Amino acid sequence: MLANQARVRFEHFLLFFIILQPVLDLLTSLSIVLLKSNATVGILVRFLIMAVGGIYILIQAKEKENRKFLIYLILLAVVLGIGFINNKLVKNPIVLGEEVKFVAKALYIYIMLGSYILALKSLKKKVNISDKVRNSIVYSTLIINAIMVISISTSTDFGSYQWMKVGSRGWFYAGNELGSILAIIFPIVVLYSIQKTKSVKHVLYWIPSLLMIYSLIQVGTKVGMGSIGATLAAAIGIIVLQLLFDRRNPNKMSLVLNGLIAIVLLAGVVGTFKMTPLAQNMGIHNNYLSEQNVAQQGQKEKEIKEKIKKEEKQHKVEKPEEKAKVEAEVKKELEKEQKKENQENLIFSGRQVYEERHKQFFKEAPMSQKLFGMGYAGNFKYNEQKEPDPKLIEMDFHDWFYDFGIIGFALMMIPFIYYGVRILLAFVTRFKEIFNVKYGMITASLVLALGIAYIAGHILTAPGVGIYFVVVLACLIVDLEIE
């Protein structure tokens, strides 16, 4: 009886844990900034809940259908453990604390996903889990947005960037992580606004969405602005299609109203884009790239001359007009390459440099590291001060592949592939039932999360961000009765 009561309490606590996230992030920020401590409250509480979640999964494994979660987690822990031991033996330099933390962060995502799937499955028998999860996320965002508004209004906020670029992270510690959190849960907040706005007198339910737009703009990242555009465009598109395909929909007028509000908001964001921190940051970044291109002019001219000589020798060019043609083609090709490099730099913010560095590490690594990973930040070297110089790529899937190896990465992808295929099949076979704003916005949230994880990182490798992705994914899995 007591064990059953504890189980039920933990399941309800997991919903409250969503609301608690910004409080943990704020305490983490204050610990680092004021106390200069790396052992933060946020990390300790999250890993404590992860441990309890592991025990919860172990207890739930008494039922045969739940055993797959426990078996998978044991297998994953064994593979990551082999990788860790292997790196302790062959890797030099190695920062053991970071290695342990990185493995723990990876396990956190999977333990919490299993915990939330099992908890929501149990809670579904008593409550509407979609509404409960949605409301918990909205309450969490209200805390974040309140902190953003108060800190910016009182000029006590921290900047998103340490140099040149502009933007605010409120009182939170990491601007990238804050931007990612707001970006992936914005569709859920828009869903709340749409579902609550039944008529003109309910338009105040769009205030949480307005606050989200304000915070996303203030952070000043591409991820934030991209989320605003993608989410509002998706909402408008789904509403229009729903009105076209379901003309007898009893909620037609509320859909029209919400569609118009979304159009006005999107137009407002587009119209004021030039005044946003992101527009200023893009200008700063472009100026930096232009200065870099000018500084590298001598190297470019050398490359052009060498390539022209090579082309002339290869094609036996002798006539002046042929030489001029070859020179023009070579210059055009190199300019095209430079333009592509600049675009990649603008999109990935230099992450491609670290990706190339990890590729080289992987190429030189022994077979054991290729299979089980090179650990945190790969086989990094010592810097000029003779200190270890670890740097992640900050593209989650890339970091996972290089740091956990072929076997580790393949194992970590199994849940994504399995549930991805099951969700896709549900959408195809139950299209009429599922094609609506609710599932459209949930899908938008998951697509944004995976897209950001691939391009900009700070989703799957950051427990404070990944928890939101885990909750939304678990909610969709249970709601569609995949589990």
pLDDT tens column, 62-76: 999 999 999 999 999
The confidence score (pLDDT) of residue 352 equals: 79
Instruction: Supply the mean pLDDT for the chain.
Output: 88
As a whole-number percent, the residues of the chain with pLDDT over 90 amount to 67
| pLDDT at 293 (0 to 100) | 59
Alpha-carbon distance of 390 to 94, in angstroms, equals: 9
For residues 128-155, average pLDDT: 97
Where does the pLDDT of residue 55 fall: very low under 50, low under 70, confident under 90, or very high at 90 and above?
very high
What is the per-residue pLDDT for 59? 94
Q: Does residue 250 carry a pLDDT above 60?
A: yes
CA distance 227 to 446: 12
Q: Which residues of 403-426 are buried (b: 16+ CB within 10 A; e: fewer)?
A: bbbebbbebbeebeeebeeebeeb
Per-residue pLDDT at 184: 97
What is the structure's pLDDT at 344? 54
When mean pLDDT is compared across 37-41, 56-60, 313-317, the lowest value belongs to: 313-317
* Predicted confidence (pLDDT) at residue 326 exceeds the cutoff of 90: no
Q: Note the pLDDT of residue 5.
A: 86
Looking at residue 35, its pLDDT comes to 75
Q: Are 193 and 212 in contact (CB under 8 A)?
A: no
Summarize pLDDT for 401-420 with one digit per residue, the tens: 999 999 999 999 999 999 99
What is the reported pLDDT for 459? 95
CB 117 within 8 A of CB 477: yes
What pLDDT score does 251 carry?
83
Answer whether residue 123 shows pLDDT above 70: yes
Res 428: pLDDT: 93
**Can you tell me the mean pLDDT for 221-249?**
91
Residue 31: per-residue pLDDT = 85
Query: Is the pTM here over 0.85, yes or no?
Result: yes
Give me the pLDDT at residue 40, please: 78
Q: Which of 34-38, 143-147, 383-387, 470-474 has the lowest mean pLDDT?
A: 383-387
291 confidence band (pLDDT: 50, 70, 90): low
pLDDT at 325: 61
| pLDDT higher than 80, residue 431 | yes
Per residue, the 3-state secondary structure of the chain, as one string, reads: CHHHHHHHHHHHHHHHHHHHHHHHHHHHHHHHHCCCCCCCHHHHHHHHHHHHHHHHHHHHCCCHHHHHHHHHHHHHHHHHHHHHHHHHHHCCCCCHHHHHHHHHHHHHHHHHHHHHHHHHHHHCCCCCHHHHHHHHHHHHHHHHHHHHHHHHHCCCCCECCCCCCCCECCCCCCHHHHHHHHHHHHHHHHHHHHHHCCCHHHHHHHHHHHHHHHHHHHHCCHHHHHHHHHHHHHHHHHHHHHHHHCCCCCCHHHHHHHHHHHHHHHHHHHHCHHHCHHHHHHHHHHHHHHHHHHHCHHHHHHHHHHHHHHHHHHHCCCCHHHHHHHHHHHHHHHHHHHHHHHHHHHHHCCHHHHHHHHHHHHHHCCHHHHHHCCCCCCCCCECCCCCECCCCCCCHHHHHHHHHHHHHHHHHHHHHHHHHHHHHHHHHHCHHHHCCHHHHHHHHHHHHHHHHHHHCCCCCCCHHHHHHHHHHHHHHHHHCCCC
The CA-based dihedral angle spanning residues 46, 52, 53, 58, taken in that order and rounded to the nearest 10 degrees: 160
Model confidence pLDDT, tens digit, residues 176-228: 999 999 999 999 999 999 999 999 999 999 999 999 999 999 999 889 999 99
In this prediction, residue 85 carries a pLDDT of: 97
Residue 22 has pLDDT above 80, yes or no: yes
d(CA 242, CA 197): 17
What is the C-alpha separation between 287 and 417, in angstroms, rounded? 41
Res. 39 pLDDT band, cuts 50 70 90: low
Which amino acid is residue 54, in one-letter code? G
pLDDT of amino acid 203: 96
Closest to 219 measured CA to CA, from 176, 273, 188 = 176
Residue-wise pLDDT tens digits, 342-353: 555 545 566 778
Q: How far apart are CA 146 and CA 139, in angstroms?
A: 11
